[in-house]
Structure 1
Amino acid sequence: MAKAHRHPETRDVQLRMLLAFGGGLLVFLVLAAIGMKLAFNTTPRWLPQPANVSPEAPDLQTAPRQDLVNFRAEEDRQLKILGWVDRNAGIARIPIDDAMRAIVSNGLPDWSQQRSATAGADGCALVAAAAPRAPQAQTCRQQSGTER
């Protein structure tokens, strides 16, 4: 008996097609990366960039614990001082201890009664009693004609 001649299978993988697919995939990925960079690079090119600022390496806190201690110390200092927040609007800041004592001794104001009182003619008295030198009190007295 003669041996049958066997041929290698040629239908499974074609090396040329595999290399073409791999090359095409590589070209697609490179073009996609370039396209993404062009589409989503939002850095304005017309603005001059400072020499010491780098978006890749932002400035970090060198001593975060000390920064927190300083921040809290400043907050505590603000809670203990007397001063104007907005002088023109008549808004002042009082020390927190004084504010707590005032609340304990006088209680919280009843805003519903003050709203109805300010709607009437006696509203200026409430404003003047609460903050006599405030611009709101002067405006109220001018509008009601009781300027002293």
Structure 2
Amino acid sequence: MAKAHHHPETRDVQPRVLLAFGAGLLLFIALAAIGVKLIFNTAPTWLPLPANTNPENPGLQTAPKQDLAAFRAEEDRQLKTLGWVDRNAGIARIPIDDAMWAVVSHGLTDWSQQTAAATEPDNCALLTTAVPRAPQAESCRQQDGTGR
């Protein structure tokens, strides 16, 4: 018996077809990535960037201690001043010291037992002394007959 020479099988793998398939696959992946980027734009468009902001380096708070001090100063100013929260509804803001004095002198109102804040004489007294310019205080004065 003669020894047979073993040669590699060349019919199963064709290098040109393998290279063409690899190139086609890479082309498909690149086109798919471009298509996904065009269809599903992931850049946020709902938030405009400020003119001086670089998206690579977002602006950070430069003086946090001063910002906090200014914020607390504004809160303290609001706690110490008289002002309107909602003028049409007659909701006013009074200084915190005056509010504490009103609670100490007149006590807290039992809001669960009432339908309107300005119906009882005690509430009218509290309202006319604490927030004299509120529309509810005016209705208390008209009910009282004093008109002042």
Query: Which one-letter code corresponds to 2:127 in the other structure?
Result: A
CA RMSD after TM alignment: 3.9
Contact 1:124 1:137 in 2 (8 A): no
| CA-CA distance at 1:100 after TM superposition | 4.2
TM-score normalised by the chain length of structure 2:
0.62
The structural deviation recorded for 1:6 is 1.0
TM-fit CA distance, 1:90: 4.2
What residue in structure 1 maps to residue 68 of structure 2?
68
| Counterpart Cα distance in 2 of 1:140 and 1:101 | 21
Gapped regions of structure 2 (runs ≥ 5): none
Q: What is the SS of the residue equivalent to 2:114? A: helix
Given that 2:124 and 2:137 are in contact with CA atoms closer than 8 Å, whether structure 1 keeps it comes out as: yes
Mapping of residues 1-148 of structure 1, within 5 Å:
2-10=2-10, 13-41=13-41, 51-79=51-79, 81-86=80-85, 88=87, 89-95=90-96, 97-100=97-100, 102-103=102-103, 106-115=106-115, 118=116, 123=119, 125=121, 128-132=124-128, 133=132, 134-139=134-139, 148=147
Q: Cα–Cα, structure 1 residues 57 and 94, in superposed 2: closer, same or farther, change >3 Å?
A: same
- Distance in 1, matches of 2:11 and 2:92, equals 88
Q: Which runs of 4+ in 1 moved over 6 A?
A: none
Q: Distance in 1 between matches of 2:60 and 2:99?
A: 38
Change (3 A) 1:94 1:8: same
Structure 1 residue 66: Cα displacement: 3.4
CA deviation profile, 1:17-48 (whole Å, cap 9, x unmatched): 4323332232222222222322233666xxx9
Shift of 1:8: 0.4
Specify the SS of the correspondent of 1:52.
coil
Note the C-alpha offset of 1:110.
Answer: 0.4
- One-letter amino acid of the counterpart of residue 52, structure 2: N
Q: 1:128 to 1:27 in 2, by over 3 A?
A: same
TM-score normalized by structure 1?
Answer: 0.62
